[in-house]
Amino acid sequence: MKMVEHSESRDIVNGKAGAAKAASTAHYFTPQNPSYVGDSVESRFTGQVKYGSDKLTFAWSNQLNSATSSPATGLMNEVATTTYGGKSTGYKDTHIGVPASYLVHSSFTVSTGHYVLSVNHSFPIKGGTRNVLSTFDFVVTLV
């Protein structure tokens, strides 16, 4: 019943990938505690489950911090996908050609169970590409 946020970035310069950098935190989603705000080494993530009706919605946002986004020499592409119980849900969120500092945000319908949201940010940097993958692992409960 916890949400684990994991962000990892890897710079690719002259065809060679640098070392990955990672951080994680945990959070419980319940009707009494339906929201989360957390900072990782790379970004700030917010998530909220909207309770109170038959249809539950998970709204989220992810914004790269200035240390991560400021080396950008061009626009960023972002793609987010999710799994439920280890299988793809078909959810896909895409932002193409936005500033690396853009607040990426979206929402999707959820039910109780285990989800993994993966958000991939990719943008050019001097001599290569920076890829930042943020993974948000959470379980939606009704208690």
The answer to whether the CB of 42 falls within 8 A of the CB of 21 is yes
* pTM of the entire predicted model: 0.83
- The fold of 3-11+25-140 is Immunoglobulin-like (2.60.40)
Q: Dihedral of the CA atoms 117, 38, 52, 138 (nearest 10)?
A: 40
Per residue of the chain (143 residues), give pLDDT as tens. 233 445 555 555 555 555 544 444 446 799 999 999 888 889 999 999 999 888 999 999 999 999 999 999 999 999 999 999 889 999 999 999 999 999 999 999 999 988 889 999 999 999 999 999 988 889 898 98
Distance CA 29, CA 69 (A): 29
Residue 66 phi/psi, 5° resolution?
-65, -35
Q: How many residues does the chain have?
A: 143
